[in-house]
Amino acid sequence: MHFADNVDYPALLGRPIVFLPLLALLFEALRWWNFAATAIGRGLTGLFSLTGLTPAADNVAVAALATVVVGFNLAVVMRLKLRRQVYIVWLELAALILVFFYSFNLSFDFIARKIGFLITQGLVMTLYISLVSIAIASILALIGAMAKLSSNGIALGVANFYTSLFRGIPLLMQIYMIYMGLPQLGYVVGAVPAGIAALSLCYGAYMTEIFRGGIESIPKGQWEAARALGLKPNATLLRIILPQAMRVIIPPTGNQFIAMLKDSSLVSVVGVWELMYLARTQGQSEFRHIEMMITASLIYWLFSILLELLQGRVERYYGRAHAR
């Protein structure tokens, strides 16, 4: 919707030639899948008391019912305002995911017992590692981008080697190398600092390229105007070029932050008690792995959503000069 045309094309789903075959396809898929035997299917069967006939007839009835529900839902949502459509579709899909999780017959009692520790130890450690790494990676990226754009051969060489090495080796390997390799050089490093170092270096390398691209996207007239006014190089970069480049830098950087939040789980391999590590170990005693995995996943998701919202705010701030 960034630059909408002034043509009211008929909604794709509003055309019977699309809508009806789509429903037919859905019905056929549900029947083939034997939907009546799934958790959701059983729920529907119970809800509408459709039982009693043969399993095959049940299957057809449930598939038809589900198809009608989906079709009716689409027909209703299609007639709403855009913003409402987005919210409703989002909530419906989220509800489907939760039903999917619910169908695992989870022990909520077990989750309730463990979630406190998962948050106070696991989530706190995950956030600590992620936030520190994000801060260091941003600084590394800015330095890396400036080095890559400089006319200093040594800086250029170091920066090129840095991005090549840390983008080219798996993050897991980097964590092992720093944790187990540094002691070979006589410096014993803790598991948490090693994890932060690996995450910062790896994401700093990716973000170097993002920052470089953002800075290069600013027309050279901006540099010239700043120079002609007598601004020195640092002031030109920090006060004129970077604030404009932020518009280009923020969206992919938001991606990186979200990816890092989840990649911080790799640090669990060196025994750091962060969210993923606890999710794997806490379930072991009572053999309730899936409870812990789902709980941890939902916590990761929740904090990814928070980062998305934050990204939206920052984007609006740097885009305010372009808002009409």
Partner 1 sequence: MSSVITVAPMPADEQETTTPAVEIRGLHKWYGAFEALGGVDLTVAAGERLVICGPSGSGKSTLIRTINALESFDEGEIRVDGIALTREPGTVEAVRQRVGMVFQQFNLFPHLTVLENCALPLRLVRGLPAPEARERALHYLAKVRIPEQADKFAAQLSGGQQQRVAIARALAMEPDLMLFDEPTSALDPEMVKEVLDAMVQLAAEGMTMVVVTHEMGFARQVADRVIFMDRGKIVEEGPPQTFFTHPREARTRAFLQQVLRVH
The residues of the shown chain that bind partner 1, judged by CB under 8 A, are 221-222, 224-232, 235, 239-240, 243-244, 318, 320-322, 324
Q: With beta carbons less than 8 A apart as the criterion, state whether 203 and 260 touch.
A: yes
With CA atoms as reference, report the closest residue to 56 among 75, 71, 35, 82. Answer: 35
Residue closer to partner 1 by CB (options 81, 324) is 324
Q: What is the dihedral of CA 93, 94, 96, 100, to 10 degrees?
A: 140
CB 194 to partner 1: min, Å: 39
Residues 6+ apart with CB under 8 A from 13: 19, 22, 74, 78
With CA atoms as reference, report the closest residue to 223 among 238, 234, 236, 212. Answer: 236
Residue closer to partner 1 by CB (options 177, 242) is 242
CB 235 to partner 1: min, Å: 5
Residue closer to partner 1 by CB (options 81, 322) is 322
Q: Where are the alpha helices (DSSP H) in the chain?
A: 16-33, 39-48, 55-78, 82-102, 108-117, 124-149, 153-168, 171-176, 191-216, 220-228, 233-235, 242-263, 275-282, 289-318
Residue closer to partner 1 by CB (options 143, 246) is 246
The residue type at 317: Y
Residue closer to partner 1 by CB (options 2, 232) is 232
Give the three-state DSSP class for 180: helix
What distance in Å separates the CA atoms of residue 251 and residue 195, rounded to the nearest whole number?
A: 25
Q: With beta carbons less than 8 A apart as the criterion, state whether 248 and 217 touch.
A: yes
CB 222 to partner 1: min, Å: 6
What distance in Å separates the CA atoms of residue 60 and residue 65, rounded to the nearest whole number?
A: 8
R_g over Cα of the chain: 26
CB 104 to partner 1: min, Å: 50
Residue closer to partner 1 by CB (options 239, 316) is 239
Euclidean distance between the first and the last CA atom of the chain, given in angstroms as a whole number: 15
CB 144 to partner 1: min, Å: 23
CB 240 to partner 1: min, Å: 6
Residue closer to partner 1 by CB (options 146, 240) is 240
Residue closer to partner 1 by CB (options 186, 219) is 219
CB 220 to partner 1: min, Å: 9
CB 239 to partner 1: min, Å: 6
